[in-house]
Amino acid sequence: MGVNTVFATDNGSMGDLSANLETQNTVSDISAINPSYDVTNDNALKKDTSTDNITQKNTNKYNNINNKQKQEETNNTIKTTTNTINTNTKTTGTGNFEELEKAINDTNRGETLNLTGNYTRNGEEYLTGITINRTITINGDGFTIDGMNNGRIFQINTDGNLTLNNMTLTKGTTTNTDCGAIYNNGGTLTINNCTLTNNTANSLGGAIYNTGGTINITNSILTHNNATGRGSGGDGGAIYNTGNGVLCVVGSVFLNNTAGSGSAVYKLYGGVVLDGNWWGINDPTSSWGNLLSGIGTPGSYVVMDFINSSKYDRVSVDMFVCSYLNGTKIQVDLPLRTVQFSTEINNGTFNLNSTNFTGNATTKYTGNTGILKANIDNENLKYKLYNPDSFTHLEDLINSTLNNSILKLEGNFTRDNNETGYTDGI
């Protein structure tokens, strides 16, 4: 049984079994935006043809996907500039926010800072966040920056251009102002392969608040972030976007974020693209009103599918993380997820009951019949497994045949001893 990310032309023929996270439509990734926009009142973010074009770069995993962008309105003109980033690097170790700020300030404009340990806020320092007013890349190498529930983690100013790679930002918390972890005040923020979790804002933007800036997030996880306050709750449990801010999130995971409105993302003004993301449920369309506010339906989203890779012996099951584009599945990757396999009728075994995956994971099921289950982020999918010559299979073939059609059998069918429901026939 395996988990991987693939686009196929259909959901598989009878006997095929797979579990996927798929997206419904176009996956877009804006890696750089250098335009001016005229924003209209019809929920469309339109390019001002007298200014620069939108520069779009697709990540490798979306190379085959058309770049449709659902972008939203603002009443302002958006202008951003892209700085040149050098490849020089510096290294820093473990410490508090004062030491992290010093390491950042000691890193020249355009250089890369490599973390070699965790950083934790100590007391009342940097309550509004460490100020970023230059171009800098921080490689986290899997380490954590912990706000200790006592203030923001970063504040990016208009001349700031911050790239965060492979780290966790947690417990950024504000009690009487907006934004829990990262406040982007007209700057540029790029987040790759990061986790933002358990961040809280008193009002707006549990993890991120973007006003007039540009944010690109890919292959990242935003989970258990909260926007509280305002009686019924704040706005934008994970992200709040306003001003003429531009936000693009692709190939990422939104889970268990909470707010009074827009539990995942709230847009007051600006342009927002949310494509190819996993929302923790197979049919988020019924939940957009809770997950999103001020934003149109995402162009694509990831869903879960369950496929058996063997038509007859059914001993190998693949699980795919997929994205739908015009009825076609296209291979995509997500951040690391965990899939758990089980059966409701326990007459078989898996060689792996639980495994982590980003693109593909494989396990084998030994047993001829059973109801196989796959679970990702508490979303369950079932597949009924039966002998290819059983009455159960024959009944499914009959029920799936169109009315007044001819069903051509390709083998013999024998009732199994445990198929007690067919004593009176099919």
CB 19 within 8 A of CB 3: yes
Same domain, 252 and 368: no
Same domain, 150 and 227: yes
Backbone phi, psi, residue 296, to 5°? -70, 175
Provide the pLDDT for residue 355.
78
Where among 281, 298, 315 does a domain terminate?
Answer: 298
Is 398 within a domain?
no
Which value, to the nearest 10 degrees, does the dihedral of the CA atoms of residues 244, 245, 251, 252 take? -130
DSSP run (H or E) holding 221: strand 221-223
Q: How far apart are CA 183 and CA 215, in angstroms?
A: 11
Same domain, 42 and 103: yes
Provide the pLDDT for residue 365.
76
Domain span at residue 312 reads 2-24+304-385
Q: How far apart are CA 70 and CA 397, in angstroms?
A: 41
Provide the pLDDT for residue 357.
74
Same domain, 284 and 208: yes
Is 66 within a domain?
yes
Same domain, 360 and 251: no
Same domain, 380 and 244: no
Same domain, 48 and 118: yes
Where among 298, 324, 345 does a domain terminate?
Answer: 298
**pTM score:** 0.73
pLDDT in tens, the chain (426 residues): 333 322 222 232 223 333 444 444 433 333 333 323 233 233 333 333 333 332 333 333 333 333 333 333 333 333 333 333 334 666 776 799 999 999 999 999 999 999 999 999 988 888 999 999 999 999 999 999 999 999 999 999 999 999 999 999 999 999 888 999 999 999 999 999 999 999 999 999 999 999 999 999 999 999 999 999 766 789 999 999 999 999 999 999 999 999 999 999 999 999 999 988 999 987 888 899 999 999 988 878 887 777 666 544 444 455 555 666 566 666 667 888 888 888 876 667 777 788 777 766 667 777 666 778 888 888 887 777 777 777 877 887 888 788 888 888 878 888 877 777 788 888
Same domain, 224 and 133: yes
Same domain, 163 and 308: no
Is 148 within a domain?
yes
Is 321 within a domain?
yes
For CA atoms 319, 67, 335, 360, give the dihedral sign. positive
Same domain, 127 and 253: yes
Domain count along the chain: 2
Q: How far apart are CA 52 and CA 379, in angstroms?
A: 43
Q: How far apart are CA 22 and CA 279, in angstroms?
A: 11
Closest C-alpha among 44, 50, 40 to residue 75: 40
Provide the pLDDT for residue 360.
60
**Quick count: other Cβ atoms within 10 Å of Cβ 13?**
7
Where among 270, 298, 326 does a domain terminate?
Answer: 298
CATH code, domain carrying 335: 2.60.40
Q: How far apart are CA 108 and CA 243, in angstroms?
A: 30
Provide the pLDDT for residue 343.
80
Integer CA distances (angstroms), 130 to 7, 211, 217, 263, 277, in order:
42, 17, 20, 26, 29
Is 410 within a domain?
no
Is 411 within a domain?
no
Is 423 within a domain?
no
Residue 106: strand, helix, or coil: coil
Same domain, 255 and 115: yes
Provide the pLDDT for residue 254.
97
Same domain, 290 and 373: no
Is 405 within a domain?
no
